[in-house]
Amino acid sequence: MHFVYPSFLFALTVLAIPVIIHLFNFRKYQKVYFSNVQFLKQVQEQQASSRNLKERLILLARLLTLFFLVLAFARPFLPGKNTVATGKQQVISVFVDNSYSMQVLNREGTLLDEAKRRTKEIASAYSINDRFQLLTQDFEGKHQRLLSRDEFNDAVDAVKIGPQSRTLQQIADRQESLLKEQWGSLRSAFILSDFQKNMAGRQPVKTDSSVRFNLVQLRSGLVPNVAVDSVWLLSAVHRSGENEKLVVKLHNYASQKAEKVPMKLLINGEQKAQGLYSVDARMEQLDTLSFSGLAQGWQKGELQLQDNPVTFDNQFYFTFNVKQQQSVLLIDGGTPDVFLKAVFDTDPFFAAKRVADGNVDYAGLDNYPLIVLSGIRNISTGLSQQLASYVTKGGALAVFPAEDADLANYKAFLQSANANWPLQLVVEPERVETINLQNEVFKGIFENLPQHPDLPVVSKYYQLSASQRGENLMELLGKRPFWSVFNSGRGKVYLSAVPLLDTYSNLQRHALFVPVMLRIALLSGHDQPLFYTLGQDENIAVPPFRSDDKQVLKLTKGNVGIIPDTRHDQGNTRLFIGDQLQDAGIYDLKKQDSLISDIAFNNSRLESDLSYMDPAQLKLDFPQAAAVLKPGTASIKGDVADLNFGLQLWKLCIILALFFIAAEILLIRYYHTGKKVFSQSTTS
């Protein structure tokens, strides 16, 4: 047997008090003289041995009462395998899961409310001199310091739901990072969560054996939940007044089919579509919503589901820009290309600007979604470097070599852009044999493709290398590339095997040339993603704009506003928001009073899957956890105390002390030691 407070055993000296009272409180007999026994009605004889037995039993009851009271204050316990040493200060790290799934209701209220209450019960199981660390999904800097028990309880009350979702390994690492600094103290860690399956990593959690981890699993009943996982628009470029089609991916996270879930689409606060949707259990489903009537500018979209009782994922936000015009830059060797000019003059949506290769404004290249090179014999080193950087950052580049192209120069340029290059001129009559209808360039161009279509005719062409893996848009006989596309960073390079000259081919006069070039231009837009995810996307690219060091960018939504860290890299602007944003919604990105773009942020859908790990799986994923507690209606303070000190015996001592107090009362009241000798009535 061990004691939490062994020094309190010195109080056993109080056992001498009832012994002293017993020794100095002997009853002395006194002689009484009677003149006549006729006045004595009744005489009892009291035996000394019986009297002594009663007094000794009372003395024993008093001694045992005091003995067990002293033991109760000394906190005796039987140590177990995880019992910590007594008498040393302890440092306890407690993680409270405040992710969105903790908003689910159970009989105690929300899971977060129960987690707060259980956290305080854990703290009450420790000494007032012990120190605590509070940790949440937010990983805030203020949660890195140690707190007293009162400060800890105040910090627990301030915990609110947040968008972050961490794995068990990340949580354990964060707790250890502070506890490892507390040398000389006993270190323990608690994780209170619903332990969704998404918290498990690919490998079991690895922890330091010097830190004792305990898991407290909070559970709710099975609840249905349907959410919008993602959306995308079928149109690459959005024009004013045109019809738009939005593809919505619905996900049913429950184990039963969702029937007729209402959903409606709002654009700029105006309802554009609605419907009832049924999704099979644990399945995904795609649905397409059509809408039109959009004006120029940024569009704020919102999908609303009516799906109770889980409501944190019932909204999904997205934004896109309806443009008035799209810019295209045409760079030539000094002679304007009449065919390219004619292509973009067919549609007023495109604003084509022509410039000679020696007069290119390098700083303004990022303002053009598409750049077309044609008829340039020798591409300068500066232009080559700027175009390679432009493509890597997401631009689209179309290249039509010159008739007298410097092949070595083209090789150096196109290699830097991760594309193939012209090897040699082949003078041989050819015909384009096939076109790649699976490529996105040809989607929507043909209503009905003839069995034997009229394809471009070739007189001579440049043989292209085969070092880079690209995709052929058009092929000559024998699958030789005629027009190819290559991915380069986040952008694309479209390389033609012929110049736009009649002496090489009739490509520039063919009926396919105009729709293909317009389609390439439409696919080259600098559109930002429709949405970002809180807690995951911290690095955000924004549309190019001109700024100086004195102009500050702000993200605002209603009364909420932040100033993100802004970095400019080779004409590209990126925002780093970290954990500054906590609420989903659509934020305005402004430079002073001018709007640059609207950016949508959604909550992570990892929290939407309300599937939980069972205790067996928790032990597999967290093998070094000392215990997995599943609290019921009672307090877990006793369970935590048992984990720290083994089997607690102080309650038994209190019960025994009360028992001997009752025994003393019964002895005094009902234990009689006298007996009658005789009884005589008096007579006159």
Q: Which helix (H) or strand (E) holds 390?
A: helix 381-392
Q: Quick check: 43 pLDDT over 70?
A: no
| pLDDT confidence tier of residue 684, bands split at 50, 70 and 90 | very low
Query: What pLDDT is recorded for position 579?
Result: 78
Query: What pLDDT is recorded for position 364?
Result: 87
Which range, of 9-23, 147-161, 200-214, 264-278, averages the lowest pLDDT? 9-23
Three-state SS at 455: coil
Q: Taking residues 473-492, what's their average pLDDT?
A: 92
pLDDT, one tens digit per residue, over 306-320 is 988 888 899 999 999
Q: Where are the alpha helices (DSSP H) in 244-376?
A: 338-345
Query: What pLDDT is recorded for position 35?
Result: 64
| pLDDT confidence tier of residue 391, bands split at 50, 70 and 90 | very high
| pLDDT confidence tier of residue 592, bands split at 50, 70 and 90 | confident
pLDDT, one tens digit per residue, over 117-155 is 999 999 998 888 899 999 999 888 888 889 999 999 999
Question: Does 338 share its domain with 445?
Answer: yes
Question: Does 94 share its domain with 183?
Answer: yes
Question: Does 396 share its domain with 513?
Answer: yes
User: Is residue 269 in some structural domain?
Assistant: no
Q: Quick check: 92 pLDDT over 70?
A: yes
Q: Which helix (H) or strand (E) holds 645?
A: helix 637-645
Mean per-residue pLDDT over the chain, rounded: 86
Total domains, the chain? 4
Q: Taking residues 331-335, what's their average pLDDT?
A: 94
Quote the CA–CA distance of 51 and 31 in Å, as a whole number: 19
Question: Does 465 share its domain with 569?
Answer: no
Q: Quick check: 400 pLDDT over 90?
A: yes
Question: Does 164 share its domain with 202?
Answer: yes
* 9/384: higher pLDDT: 384
Quote the CA–CA distance of 184 and 105 in Å, as a whole number: 41
Quote the CA–CA distance of 403 and 508 in Å, as a whole number: 14
Provide the whole-model pTM: 0.74
Q: Quick check: 540 pLDDT over 90?
A: no
Query: What pLDDT is recorded for position 13?
Result: 86
Q: Quick check: 301 pLDDT over 90?
A: yes
pLDDT, one tens digit per residue, over 407-451 is 999 999 999 999 999 999 999 999 999 999 889 898 767 767 777
| pLDDT confidence tier of residue 683, bands split at 50, 70 and 90 | very low
Question: Does 589 share its domain with 615?
Answer: no
Q: CB within 8 A of 539, min separation 6: which ones?
A: 574, 575, 576
Question: Does 127 share its domain with 186?
Answer: yes
Last residue of a domain, which of 544, 573, 602? 602
User: Is residue 303 in some structural domain?
Assistant: no
Question: Does 467 share its domain with 447?
Answer: yes
Last residue of a domain, which of 501, 522, 543? 522
Question: Does 160 share its domain with 99?
Answer: yes
Quote the CA–CA distance of 573 and 597 in Å, as a whole number: 12
Give the CATH number of the domain where residue 331 resides. Answer: 3.40.50.880
Give the CATH number of the domain where residue 576 resides. Answer: 2.60.40
User: Is residue 396 in some structural domain?
Assistant: yes
User: Is residue 250 in some structural domain?
Assistant: no
Give the CATH number of the domain where residue 154 resides. Answer: 3.40.50.410
Q: Which helix (H) or strand (E) holds 621?
A: helix 615-621
Percentage of the chain surpassing pLDDT 70?
Answer: 90
Question: Does 618 share its domain with 562?
Answer: no
Residue 207 identity:
T
Q: Taking residues 89-103, what's their average pLDDT?
A: 92
| Domain membership of residue 422 as a residue range | 326-522
User: Is residue 247 in some structural domain?
Assistant: no
User: Is residue 375 in some structural domain?
Assistant: yes
Q: Quick check: 37 pLDDT over 70?
A: no
Question: Does 363 share its domain with 483?
Answer: yes
Q: Quick check: 678 pLDDT over 90?
A: no
Quote the CA–CA distance of 414 and 464 in Å, as a whole number: 11
Q: Sheet containing 471-475: give its strands across.
A: 350-356, 326-332, 370-374, 396-400, 491-496, 481-488, 471-475, 434-435
Question: Does 371 share its domain with 474?
Answer: yes
User: Is residue 449 in some structural domain?
Assistant: yes
User: Is residue 31 in some structural domain?
Assistant: yes
